[in-house]
Amino acid sequence: MKILSYRFEGLVRFGPKVKKEEAVWDVLSIQESLQVLPSFPQTIVEGIAAGMDFVEQMRLLAEAASKSEDPNQYKRTFTSIEWLSPIPRTPKNIFGIGKNYADHAKEMGSAGAPENLMVFTKSPTTIAADEETLSIHANVTSEYDYEGELAVVISKRGDNVPEKLAYDHVFGYTIANDLTARDLQTKHQQYFLGKSLKGSCPMGPYIVTKDELPDPQGLSIVTKVNNEVRQNGNTNDMIFSVEELIAKISALVTLEPGDVILTGTPSGVGKGFKPPKFLATGDTVKIAIEGIGTLVNRFE
């Protein structure tokens, strides 16, 4: 199932994409009108915490609406909504993984692949949406860089999660751009500020539930800037797989529903070119991941 969040008539909503249509089911309206279920989550994070039961609930609501006298009253066309990030606000910070592709580690100056996880966080205020126009923050940085990444959405609370049970804690996957002010990273000698400028974590367009992507390793990931291919990688090249990331992070930090793990970026970031190719006003970045879709943002 492809799930999106959106604003319609001033209200934040969520729902599954209508199959073969450029529209989304307004599941909250369906439930309110048809009373299909005894109860239903009122926010996307509440739903994610219910795991695959939430997916089944939305299937039942969509089925009931499609069989109603006027199914179209429960559909919101893509042209009538304001797209939001699939998770408009995470309960906690976003987990980022540094140098999780060997070629990227090399282009960033590392002698070899890291033996241990490099973990940082991004503020929830960094979250932005597909097709949103974003600032390049020229007043504070001249080295704003893109990083196309597979993002993992956590559904189940967990400490010390064994690798073999890691996927039990996954709700689904989306696309993220881990935008980074490289000069702020250098200036402050840490990651948080340089990776937490407003709008520096666009995600979307959808969360694709894990039943539709049973193996997140082996997905192509391509980043284009103004239609020039900059990154052309595959999630199979991760140093630490999704299972390993969940196990290693949860050994030290409690994972909770709605947490997002950015799994690292392939080689081809702006800083890796000679001379560097940082973002400029007017640029458009498109990140496509197999099985999910394309995340598009313009910069001003």
Q: Given this model, what pLDDT does residue 241 score?
A: 98
Mean pLDDT (whole number) for 32-48: 97
CATH of 94-299, one of 3.40.190.10, 3.40.50.11540, 3.40.50.1110, 3.90.850.10: 3.90.850.10
Average pLDDT over all residues of the chain: 96
Mean pLDDT (whole number) for 106-110: 83
Kindly indicate the confidence band of residue 234, based on its pLDDT and cuts at 50, 70 and 90. very high
CB atoms within 10 A of CB 115: 6
* Per-residue pLDDT tens over the stretch 283-299: 999 999 999 999 999 99
Kindly indicate the confidence band of residue 190, based on its pLDDT and cuts at 50, 70 and 90. confident
Q: Given this model, what pLDDT does residue 55 score?
A: 98
Mean pLDDT (whole number) for 58-79: 98
* Per-residue pLDDT tens over the stretch 235-250: 999 999 999 999 999 9
When mean pLDDT is compared across 54-63, 91-100, 164-173, the lowest value belongs to 91-100
Amino acid occupying residue 93: N
Kindly indicate the confidence band of residue 259, based on its pLDDT and cuts at 50, 70 and 90. very high
Mean pLDDT (whole number) for 130-159: 98
CB atoms within 10 A of CB 224: 19
Q: Given this model, what pLDDT does residue 23 score?
A: 98
Whether the pTM exceeds 0.85: the reply is yes
Q: Give the separation between CA 295 and CA 299, rounded to whole angstroms.
A: 13
DSSP 255: B
* Per-residue pLDDT tens over the stretch 272-282: 999 999 999 99
In the chain, where the domains are located = 2-84, 94-299
> Which of 16, 22, 21 is closest to 1 using CA atoms?
16
Kindly indicate the confidence band of residue 231, based on its pLDDT and cuts at 50, 70 and 90. very high
> Which of 57, 264, 251, 54 is closest to 172 using CA atoms?
54
Q: Given this model, what pLDDT does residue 196 score?
A: 97
Cα–Cα distance list, 31 to 25, 94, 174, 229 (Å)? 11, 31, 26, 44
* Per-residue pLDDT tens over the stretch 98-107: 999 989 988 8
Phi first, then psi: what are they for 179, rounded to 5°? -65, 140
